[in-house]
Structure formats: C-alpha cells, structure tokens
C-alpha cells in the first residue's frame, strides 16, 4: 500500500483524528483520492471516487489476509477507534481505485459504515442475493462489540444482533417513530426538525443515521434501511435518536404531559408487536425514550 504521491495529510494521529468525521468531510468536499490507515499489524486503504459506497482494501497481517471490498468501512472505523495508528490522505483520480490485480467483492449488503450481519437476510423468493431494501410493508446505541449483551426472549436467550427479521424490525421501528411523532405533534411540539438535527448530531457514533449517507429513511410511519447492519447498533442508534428528540420537546411546564403522551402512543405499538420489540432489544429502550414508564 505504497504511493509515489505526496500526501495531502501525512500521519494524522488516530488518537486525535476521528476517521469517520474526516471521511465525511472529504466526501462533502467532493474529494477524490485515497485515505490510508496504518495500525499495528493492520493497514487499510479507502478509495474515494465519488460513489456512495467506497471500495476498501484491508491487509490484516496477524490473520494473513488481503481483501478488497465495496463498503466494509465499519471495520476500519472500529479498528481506528480501538487501536492507535496514523492516517494519511492522498489526492487524485489515480489514487481513487485499488490496483487492477484485485477483484472487488460486492457483499450481500454492502454498507458504508455498518457491522456485517451474523447471517444473510433470507427471503422465500431469493434466499441468497436479495439485499435489504425498504420500505417494508406498513404493518402497523456507541458501536456494538463482539461481546454484546444478551437479550431475553420468550423462553430463550437471543444474543444482541442475532435476531435478523429485518422486515419486522423496520416495520416496528417505523411505528415507534410514528408514535413519538404523533405524541409531539399532539402536544404542540415539532418532530421532524429536531429528529433530523439529532440524527446529524449522532452521525459520528451511528453512521447509518447520517442524512448525508442516506442509509436510513423515515417518512409517514415507514422506516427503511438501504444496507443491513448489526441489529444491536441499529436499535441503539434509533432509541438514542428518539430519546434526544423527546428530551428536546419535554421542557418546562409541558415536560410531564409530553412524556406521558409519548409513553401512551408507544404503548399501543408495544401491545401489537411484543415479540419483535423483545427479540430486537427495542422493548427495553421504551422507558428510556419516553423518560417515564411505558409498560
């Protein structure tokens, strides 16, 4: 992973530079080139050519692997958060693509910044290749690590992120967001503006919420996700976004009324979707979102 080009930025310390913030800034500026990350026993190149899903090359010396994949930025971002290292930026169209000898792997659900699923999403029509694309039928959290807490379900234990019924999760998520939206509108508040502001605020920690990336979309009670990610990450991000949105509305004399109305609206969803809420990990977030007891 060497280059004859003089770096635009050389050996930025990952202790002080947030890789995702840097990538987002470069993308917003229309940057074309390569971002090189060097860590202990690991190196990565992120090729920015203007596409929404950059190609990433990773060399893991300890594992003896050298892979090139569309998306998969999540692994690089997580490693730079956990391990000290350096970042260098090389500008130019000649830096924006991997060497020709490498074939680019297109994963089932390539995501700009999302942890790979435990197993592929499966459907009756195309069990191997159908990507996760919304919106689903209108039926009605920091990055997770490998030791995610367990979530109790009905009669068994489900490890966080192991529940993969995405159509049900997204439909239920859409209903929960709609419940908060109805509550804030009914109590004289505003939902859309604060919710979008909170999404941007959380983008560094929950990349899928970033409006610029356009991975997650919500409108009129329907939630959709362009690319699949770990359920635990999705649940943490959505619940934190809703909690902060409610907090912004629940102020002053109307705070109690707002929280009680949010709890009431979410209770109807909880009664209709108990299993999905339980197994996805959303149920234990309801009280936190409302700021009062829901059920």
Q: Rounded to whole angstroms, how far apart are CA atoms 277 and 163?
A: 11
Q: Rounded to whole angstroms, how far apart are CA atoms 256 and 27?
A: 42
- Counting every residue, how long is the chain? 295
**pLDDT for the residue numbered 159:** 43
What is the mean pLDDT of the segment spanning 204-231? 87
Quick one: which H or E segment has residue 158?
strand 157-159
Answer whether residue 37 shows pLDDT above 90: yes
Q: Dump pLDDT digits (tens) for 231-273.
A: 888 999 999 999 999 999 999 988 999 999 999 999 999 999 9
Answer whether residue 53 shows pLDDT above 80: no
Q: What angle (nearest 5°) sits at the alpha carbon of residue 238, between those of residues 21 and 231?
A: 95
**pLDDT for the residue numbered 4:** 64
Of 42 and 5, more confident: 42
**pLDDT for the residue numbered 138:** 30
Which structure tokens are listed for 111? 């995501």
**pLDDT for the residue numbered 126:** 29
* Of the candidates 33, 57, 54, the residue with the CA atom closest to the CA atom of residue 45: 57
DSSP assignment of 204-270 equals TT-GGG-TTTT-EEEETTEEEESS---HHHHHHHHHHHHHHHHHHHS-GGGHHHHHHHHHHHHHHHH
Q: Dump pLDDT digits (tens) for 174-198.
A: 999 999 999 999 988 889 999 999 9
**pLDDT for the residue numbered 129:** 26
């Amino acid at each position: 992973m060497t280059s004859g080009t003089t770096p635009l930025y050389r050996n930025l310390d990952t202790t002080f530079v947030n890789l995702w913030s840097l990538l987002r800034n470069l993308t917003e500026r229309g940057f074309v080139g390569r971002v090189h990350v060097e860590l202990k026993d690991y190196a990565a190149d992120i090729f920015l050519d203007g596409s929404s899903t950059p190609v990433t090359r990773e060399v893991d010396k300890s594992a003896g692997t050298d892979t090139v994949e569309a998306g998969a930025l999540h692994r690089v971002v997580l490693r730079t958060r956990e391990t000290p290292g350096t970042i260098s930026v090389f500008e130019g169209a000649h830096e924006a693509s991997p060497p020709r000898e490498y074939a680019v792997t297109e994963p089932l659900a390539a995501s700009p910044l999302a942890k790979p699923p435990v197993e592929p999403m499966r459907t009756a029509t195309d069990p191997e290749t159908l990507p996760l694309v919304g919106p689903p039928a209108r039926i009605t959290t920091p990055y997770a690590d490998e030791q995610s807490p367990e979530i109790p379900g009905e009669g068994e234990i489900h490890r966080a992120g192991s529940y993969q019924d995405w159509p049900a999760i997204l439909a239920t998520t859409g209903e929960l967001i709609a419940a908060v939206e109805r509550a804030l509108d009914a109590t004289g508040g505003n939902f859309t503006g604060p919710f979008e502001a909170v999404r941007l605020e959380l983008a560094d920690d929950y990349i899928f919420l970033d409006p610029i990336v356009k991975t997650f979309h919500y409108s009129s009670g329907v939630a959709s996700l362009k690319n699949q990610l770990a359920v635990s990450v999705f649940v943490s991000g959505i619940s934190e976004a809703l909690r902060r949105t409610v907090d912004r509305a629940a102020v002053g004399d109307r705070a109690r009324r707002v929280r009680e109305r949010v709890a009431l609206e979410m209770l109807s969803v909880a009664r209709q979707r108990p299993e999905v809420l339980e197994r996805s990990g959303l149920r234990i977030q309801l009280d936190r979102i409302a700021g009062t007891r829901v059920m």
